[in-house]
Amino acid sequence: MIGYILSRLIRAVATLLITVTLVFLFIRFSGDPAAALVPPDAPQEVIDQYARAMGLDQPIWVQYTGYVGGLLQGDFGFSIHTGLAVEEVFLARLPHTLELGLTALAMAIAIGIPVGAIAAIRRGSALDRFVMAFSVFAFAMPNFLFGLLMILIAALVFGTFLGGDSASVLWPALTLGLAAMGSFARFTRSSVLETINAPYMRAAEARGVPFRLRLIRHAAPNAAIPLVTLIGLSLGALVAGSVVTEQVFAWPGVGQLLVRSVATRDLAQVQFLVLVVAFTMVLANLLVDFLYLLIDPRIRAS
Partner 1 sequence: MSLRILTASALLAGSVALPALAQDKPDLVIAVDNLWPTMDPVIGISTTGARVHSNIFDTLVRRNRWEDPDGTELVPWLAESWKQLSPTVWEFTLRDGVPFHDGHIMDAEDVAFSLSAERLWGEEPLAPRGTRYTRGFTRVEATGPLTIEVETSFPDPNLPFRMVTPIGFVLPKHYYEEVGTEAFGQMPMGTGPYRMTSFDPSVGVEAVAFEDYWAGEPPAASLSFEIVPEFSTRFAGLVAGEYDVVVSVPADQVDALDGTPGVTVMEKGIENYPMFAFNMLETEALPDNPLTDVNLRKAMVAGVDREAITAAIWGDATFVPTPFNFPEYGPYYDADRERAVPYDPEAAAAYLEASDYAGEELIWHITRGFYPNYEIAAEFMVEQWADLGINVKIELKDNFSLAYQRPFHLLNMSMSSEFSGDPYRPLWMDWGPQSSRFRAAHKTWDMTEDFVALGEKFEQTLEFEARKQAYLDLVAEWEDVTPGMYMWRNVVSYAISDDLDWDPGNSAVTIFDHLYVGGGDG
Partner 2 sequence: MAENLSGAPAPLLSIRGLTVGLPADGDRPEAVSEVSFDIAPGETVCLVGESGSGKSVIGQAILGMLPHALPVLSGEVHLDDAPLPPQRDPAYGAIRSAQVAMIFQDAAASLNPVRTIGAQLAEVLEVHGVPKRDRKARVLDVLRAVALPEPERIAKSYPHQLSGGQAQRAVIAGALLLEPKLLIADEPTTALDVTTQAEILALIARLKAEHGLSVLFVTHDFGVVAEIADRVVVMEKGVQVETGRAAAVLHAPQHPYTKKLIAAVTPAPRERETGGTDTILEATDIDLTYRGGLFGGRKALHAVKGASLRIEAGRTVAVVGESGSGKSSLARCLLRLEEIDSGSIRFKGEEISKLTGKPLQHLRKSLQVVLQDPYSALDPRQTIRAAIAEGPIIHGTPKVEAHAQAAELLELVGLPAQAGGRYPQEFSGGQRQRICIARALALKPDLLIADEAVSALDVSIQAQILDLFADMQKRFGFAILFITHDLAVARAIADDILVMRRGEIVERGPAAQVFASPAHPYTADLLAAAPGLDMFAKGDAA
Contact between 297 and partner 2 per CB under 8 A: yes
Question: CA-to-CA distance for 124 and 122, rounded, in angstroms?
Answer: 6
Residue 225 interacts with which of partner 2, partner 1, none, CB < 5 to 8 Å by class? partner 2
CA distance 70 to 195: 50
Q: Is 205 in the site for partner 1 (CB under 8 A)?
A: no
Please say whether the dihedral angle defined by the alpha carbons of residues 138, 188, 97 and 79, taken in this order, is positive or negative: negative
> Does 28 help bind partner 1 (rule: CB under 8 A)?
no
**Looking at 12, 76, 79, 104, which residue binds partner 1 (CB under 8 A)?**
79
Residue 94 contacts partner 1 per CB under 8 A: no
Site for partner 2 in 225-254 (CB under 8 A): 225
Reported residue count of the chain is 302
203 binds partner 2 (CB under 8 A): yes
Q: Total residues contacting partner 2 (rule CB under 8 A)?
A: 30
Among partner 2, partner 1, none, the one that 74 touches (CB under a kind-dependent 5 to 8 A) is none
Distance in angstroms (rounded) separating the CA atoms of residues 78 and 84: 5
**Residue 161 engages partner 1 in binding (rule: CB under 8 A):** yes
| CA dist., res. 79 & res. 53, Å (int) | 12
How far is the C-alpha of 65 from the C-alpha of 71, rounded, in Å? 10
Which of 92, 133, 213, 216 touches partner 1 by CB under 8 A? 92
Buried b (16+ CB within 10 A) or exposed e, 110-132: ebbbebbbbbbbeeeeeebeebb
CB atoms within 10 A of CB 201: 17
Residues linked to residue 78 through DSSP beta bridges, in sequence order: 85
Between CA 296 and CA 94 the distance in angstroms is 33
CB of 218 to partner 1, least distance (A): 47
Shortest separation between residue 255's beta carbon and partner 2, angstroms? 37
- Kindly report the number of other CB atoms within 10 A of residue 289's CB atom: 20
Q: Shortest Cβ distance from residue 147 to partner 1 (Å)? A: 8
Residues whose CB is less than 8 angstroms from the CB of residue 157 and which lie 6 or more positions away in sequence, other chains included: none
Pick from 18, 68, 98, 155: which binds partner 1 (CB under 8 A)? 155
222 binds, among partner 2, partner 1, none (CB under 5 to 8 A by kind): partner 2
Chain residues that interact with partner 1, rule: CB under 8 A:
30-32, 35-36, 38-46, 49-50, 79, 81-85, 88, 92-93, 148, 151-152, 154-156, 159-166, 247-250, 252, 256-257, 259-260, 264, 266
